[in-house]
Chains A and B, each alone.
Chain A
Amino acid sequence: MSTSISNSRLTSRLWGQLTSIRLTVFLLLILAVVAVVGTLGFPGLYYTIWFLAPLGLLALNLLACLVEGLPQALKRAARPFTGEMALALPERGRFSWPAETAAPALVEEILRRELGRPRHQILGEEQVFFYGRGRLRPLGPYCVHLALVLILAGGVVGKFWGIEGRILLQPGIDGSSIELDQPGRKLPLGFLVRLEKFQVRYYEGSGGTPQEFRSDLTFLQDGAAVKQAVCRVNDPVVFGGYTFYQASYGTLPGGPVQLELTREDQRQSLELPFRRWVQLPGSEIQVMAVRVEGNLQGLGPAVQLAYRPGPGHPQFAWLLQKHPEKVKPLGPFRLALAPLKLEYYSVLQVKHDPGVGWVYGGFLLLLPGLYLAFFRPTQRWAVVLQKGRKDRWEGRLLGASPRSRETFLARTERLRERLQRGGA
């Protein structure tokens, strides 16, 4: 018996802590601090217990608050504003009009002009005119919190049931599997992706800024072409449950690199197989083509050369096809680049993420939630009319707005002035 009491007390204390605003504020600040640390050179931190634990607690906190308050908020939002409820509002001012005034019509007119069309109800001796707005306000914070839970859930779904990787495509070699982000792991796609053509255009005179790059893709299932599509940056392609994003590209030589060597007016050409050391004729110097670029800083095609005059560490130099004058001589040799044959490869990010729908759902819910919570305060007013001494009209102005004091008070002040002036 005593254990069950202390148990239930413990549960309610735990629940109290879980739904407390103190926990929320504490967790928000903790998350901010951990995120700061993460940007200072620990990018992996976001996937460790240090970030995930407070984030998980925050999700629990959000859920607990939803469970705690949402039913009541729904009830409040569903309950229409009535004359009886209006009578319970706190009083904000009184006025008194002569007996001959057409008071009900005038009150209605003033309320309509200052606020909006009021409703009217007769309760015993009293005539109640009332107007309310922002009935859905109590739902706002819960919409926001539900939206955040959806977004976090979407993240979890994506993490556990999503697939993310990349695929490197070259013309002539069909892609059949993606490299997952975990190094060395590959996942077969179940279909083939063929790079028909890769194109890159550069802005003229811009130092090599690409204007556009695109991959023309064909998807093949059981040897038959099923779909053709163009994949561009910001313009992904969907096939077979995966989405393909144009991520980047690179260049490979389409054959050996052709060098023109000049030594004391003697010219000869030399073939460099890609990434293999080659000895320059009649010397100790060895060279290797290590990289090719279609447009190096806007200067056109280029080859990066590693060279070493003998044993020891290699050094690097760029050879420019269109600017032989910028190439420094190598020992007794002057070097020039014959027209380069380049082949592009395309890198596509490949993804399957069933959580994105959840996340977007959260985004869509977040906006009306924020609007309701911050820009749609509950405001209620009522004017109660009654016949008083010598048949004069005695009126009371009532009203309340728990969360937007300033605008409410300004409106109420204006209303009171109009009413007090109104009968005269």
Chain B
Amino acid sequence: MLSQALGAVMLLYLGVGLLFLAAGLWASASLNRLARLLFGAGLAAHTAILLARWWQSYHLASGHQPLTLFSEKLRLVVLQAPMSNFYESLVFFAWCLPFLAILTWRRDLHDYLGTVVALGACLLLAYASLGGVDSRIKPLMPALKSNWLLIHVVTCFLGYAAFTLGFGVAILYLAQERRSRPSLPPRSQLDRLLYQTTIIGFLLLTLGILTGAVWAEQAWGRYWSWDPKETWSLITWLIYATLLHARLVKGWQGRRIAWLGVLGFVAVLFTYLGVSFLLPGLHSYLT
């Protein structure tokens, strides 16, 4: 049932992406309004699906260990957040994109920028539903049973999402620079949005790494163990740290910053997907 609903949301995002595209092509404010409205509706449905899966997951888990105390139930609710395997992470990642874009871009979310966000979310959901990813709810292994799970995953994925938005902006910037099109957002706006998403992503990624380190210290007695995922998140962090220094201290702007944004996103992709599939490690339960 939930997977069908998720399929519908995916199609809705696709439609929203096309609407934003049309709004850009015909410079139509009313199409933009409609697309934004539908985007909001899609996000609401997506949220409802996440909550429903959360409920399902909690329900299954409480079958394994009947609880009576409210505090125990609350803890189980926190533990059973639907973010503990690859499928769930894809669905949550897809949710983060429109959530962050609507929250931080507000009025800037229109035309091609809207297309980028909506199609990004649609692609992620398509991968989750059609990519042969195992969508079953699995019981948590002991290492994952920690109050840090929720905050760690949420901060990491919101960070990934911010960098993904930044990547979309960087690509638009580079396209705009090759051949300037009046229908695309002006370069100054793109430059500002890239910086804005990068600082949000950087803060969230930092939080994600810190919470992960504290958790690892509690679970294994090592806040850092050069696990491939850790290392790649550090690589991502270093690249974005470079971007921020280049911009804030050296005063770089425009094309070079956009290329760094692209490079950073490649590292994000590898941190998320490449590490899970190519390099075994502590995070390998994701696959």
Contact = CB atoms under 8 A, between A and B. Distances in A.
Contacts of A356: 217, 223
B161 to A, nearest CB: 17
B241 interface: yes
B214 interface: yes
Interface in B196-254: 199, 202-203, 206-207, 210, 213-215, 217-224, 226, 228, 231-232, 234-235, 238-239, 241-242, 245-246, 248-250
Given A351-B221, A375-B199, A25 B139 contact: no
B52 interface: no
* Size bracket of the B interface: 35 or more
B203 A21 contact: no
B287 to A, nearest CB: 15
B139 A211 contact: yes
A356 B234 CA distance: 19
Interface in B149-166: none
Contacts of B131: none
A74 interface: no
Contacts of A353: 221
B88 to A, nearest CB: 16
Interface in A65-124: none
Contacts of A360: 214
A32 B279 contact: no
Nearest to B139: A203
A237 to B, nearest CB: 11
A222 to B, nearest CB: 27
Contact of B250 (A21, A232, A247, A367): A21
B3 interface: no
Contact of A25 (B210, B215, B245): B245
Contacts of B222: 164, 349, 351
B217 to A, nearest CB: 7
B64 interface: yes
A212 B140 CA distance: 10
B255 interface: no
Interface string A262-294: 000000000000000000000000000000000
Contact of B142 (A31, A36, A213): A213
B199 A245 contact: no
A247 B217 CA distance: 12
A125 interface: no
Contacts of A349: 220-222
A247 B220 contact: yes
B59 interface: no
A31 B221 contact: no
A236 B221 contact: yes
Interface stretch (A38-46, A167-175, A304-312, A323-331): A38-46
A234 B221 contact: no
A164 B228 CA distance: 21
B163 to A, nearest CB: 15
Interface in A194-253: 203-204, 206, 209-213, 232-236, 243, 245, 247
B199 A363 contact: no
A341 interface: no
A359 B223 contact: yes
B145 interface: yes
Contacts of A316: none
B56 to A, nearest CB: 16
Contacts, number: 109
A123 to B, nearest CB: 34
B183 interface: no
B235 A32 contact: yes
A374 B199 contact: yes
Nearest to B279: A39
B203 A374 contact: yes
A363 B214 contact: yes
B5 interface: no
Interface in B124-170: 138-139, 141-143, 145-146
B204 to A, nearest CB: 10
Given A39-B228, A39-B279, A211 B142 contact: yes
Contacts of B241: 28
A177 to B, nearest CB: 17
A325 to B, nearest CB: 27
A311 B222 CA distance: 47
B245 A32 contact: no
A245 B213 contact: no
Contacts of A155: 224
Contacts of B250: 21, 25
Interface in A309-359: 349-351, 353, 356, 359
Contacts of B141: 209-210
Nearest to B240: A28
Contacts of B139: 203, 206, 209, 211
A206 B221 CA distance: 28
Given A203-B64, A211-B139, A35 B224 contact: no
Given A353-B221, A356-B217, 16 more contacts: A28-B238, A28-B239, A155-B224, A212-B142, A232-B142, A234-B142, A234-B146, A243-B221, A359-B213, A360-B214, A363-B213, A366-B206, A367-B206, A367-B210, A370-B206, A371-B203
30 contacts: A24-B249, A25-B246, A28-B238, A28-B245, A29-B238, A35-B234, A35-B235, A38-B226, A38-B231, A39-B228, A39-B231, A206-B138, A206-B139, A209-B141, A211-B65, A232-B142, A233-B219, A234-B146, A234-B219, A236-B218, A236-B221, A245-B220, A350-B221, A351-B222, A353-B221, A363-B214, A366-B206, A367-B210, A370-B203, A375-B203
Interface of B: 64-65, 138-139, 141-143, 145-146, 192, 199, 202-203, 206-207, 210, 213-215, 217-224, 226, 228, 231-232, 234-235, 238-239, 241-242, 245-246, 248-250, 267, 275, 279
10 tightest CB-CB pairs across the interface, nearest first? A233-B142, A32-B238, A351-B221, A374-B199, A203-B139, A245-B221, A21-B249, A234-B146, A28-B242, A349-B221
